[in-house]
Structure 1
Amino acid sequence: MNFTVLGEVCAWKGRQVIPLGGPRTRALLAVLLLEADRVVPVDRIIRLFWEDEVPVTARNAVQGLVVALRRSLRGQPDVRLVTRGPGYLLHVDPGSVDVFRFRVEVERARTLPDREAADVLRDALALWRGAPLADIPFESVRVRLGGLLEQELLAALELRAEIELRLGKHRDLVPELARLADEHPVRESLHRLLMLAHYRSGRTAEALETYRRLNHRLVAEYGITTGPALRELHATMLRA
């Protein structure tokens, strides 16, 4: 059995999609998958699902969701949902969950020569099929848990870009890095990579303009300037 959270939350047996019921049941599965083989307290599930407006029936509602999820997973010997202490624990092979495969491959890439690492990272990034937990309609679950996953995605994208810059693929990287920098307008690490890609492509003016826009936004919105590493890179480009 395989599970996906890097996109819609799904369960598969071979090519067959396993019905998971309603959105709260899928959300519960996502929470348990992301904490696979660890106890998730009922209180945490309640906070994720209802935030500050917790109904008196919340604990019973969670119990009902657990019953529904167990029904969906019935007959799958490699998956077990058990009650443990103050919460619930999902026993599952990490290799059957896309996010754990992604993490393993990203870490493996860090140990490899650049060309192999770039290929491994491309395969790992291909596991992403959209925004994480995309079909979960509860903002608290999607933002808190999905937001953390998106940070992992960005870190992996930056790692791959770092490697491909070393491999001389600066021109190919410019469009992707420009798009990512637009989507994350105050993420300094992305802007540094875009500056390097511009600079190494012979587009120094665009590299300097990237820095100017970032610094202006940081000052205007947060009252801070860029960090020392980015300022040093900017100074180096000015001196060149």
Structure 2
Amino acid sequence: MDIEVLGALAVRENDVSIVPTAPKPRQVLALLALHADHVVPVGSLVEELWGAKVPRSARTTLQTYILQLRDLIEQALAHGEGGAAGNAKDVLATVPGGYRLNTLGGTVDYRQFATLAAVGYRAMDAEDFVGAARALAKALALWNGPALTDIPVGLRIGMEARRLEETRLCALDQRIEADLKLGRHRELLPELTVLVNQHRMHESLHGQFMLALHRSGRRGEALDVYQRLRTTLVTELGLEPSPALARLQRSILMARHEAPHGPSPSAPRLVARTG
């Protein structure tokens, strides 16, 4: 079974989709897919589907959704070699206290992402910036939009989606950092222009944008980025920018007016405040 959650939900057996059209069975499949090969307790599924307003028929209704998913799995298994139907209960197993979706050696995109991102982080630690940029770019290419963008979101899926988004932002931050180390500041400007508008209080991205602008000879614009971020932070959170970002702003302010030549030091490491 192959699973994709980094974008729209896709779950395939023998290249046949088993994603139902009805919203609540899709939620059940999504939560099982997020914890593939691990037990998802019945209570977690019930909480995801109904929140605090749990109907008396919740467990019976959940069992109906599981049966619907197994029907889809069985139809997909029938497309295997020789047309053998297989056993849907082996794929979507009932276990003590819950259910488990077994991948049986299939691919899971969020695991591929984590593996590639880890390679990139190790390369960054080793100052192999070419290798880091390459591995992190491959990891980020697995994303096709916000995680589970087409799924109704309850408490459990919402938490997992936010967690996955944070891992994406961490990988993106490090990939941009690697590109800055490699002197790719001009190439980064269009991407960073979009990112700082999407993440209006993310200090690390703003610092990287400031540095890329400054290195591209656009010192005034780099300082404008700082002022816009400071206004947003003060107005919406009552906070000043971090000391690291303030130091970067002062270093740009005190720099010569002409564009920097050759490699220049990276921005100080910043603790991101997202919003």
1:90 aligns with 2:105: no
Q: Is 1:213 aligned with 2:228? A: yes
Q: Is the 8 A contact 1:134 1:142 kept in 2?
A: no
In the superposition, the TM-score normalised over structure 1's length comes to 0.90
Measured after TM superposition, the shift of residue 56 of structure 1 is 1.8
The one-letter code matched in structure 2 to 1:45 is L
Match of 1:17 in 2: 17
Q: Which residue in 1 is equivalent to 2:260?
A: none
Task: Please give the residue correspondences for 1:1-240 in structure 2 after superposition, counting only pairs within 5 Å.
Answer: 1-13=1-13, 15-74=15-74, 75=77, 80-92=91-103, 96-112=107-123, 113-138=128-153, 140=155, 143-240=158-255
Residue 58 to residue 136, structure 1, CA distance change in 2 (3 Å):
same
Q: Residue 71 of structure 2: SS of its match in structure 1?
A: helix
CA distance in 2, matches of 1:214, 1:94: 46
Q: For the Cα contact (< 8 Å) 1:27–1:141, is it kept in 2?
A: no
- Larger C-alpha radius of gyration, 1 or 2? 2
Code of the residue aligned with 2:5 in structure 1: it is: V
Deviates more, 1:56-65 or 1:137-146: 137-146
Query: Which stretches in structure 2 are left out of the alignment for 5+ residues?
Result: 78-85, 256-275
> Normalising by the residue count of structure 2, what TM-score does the alignment of the two structures yield?
0.79
Distance verdict in 2 for CA 1:72–1:114, change over 3 Å: same
- How far does residue 227 in structure 1 lie from its aligned partner after superposition? 1.3
Output the CA distance in 1 between the equivalents of 2:203 and 2:243: 11
Q: What is the number of equivalent residue pairs in this alignment?
A: 240
Partner of 2:81: none
Report the alpha carbon displacement of residue 18 of structure 1 after superposing the two structures with TM: 3.7
Q: Is the 8 A contact 2:38 2:100 kept in 1?
A: yes
Counterpart Cα distance in 2 of 1:122 and 1:220 = 35
Q: Is the 8 A contact 2:47 2:156 kept in 1?
A: no
Q: Tell me the amino acid that sits aligned with residue 166 of structure 2.
A: Q
Contact 1:36–1:90 (CA under 8 A) maintained in structure 2: yes
Alignment RMSD: 2.2
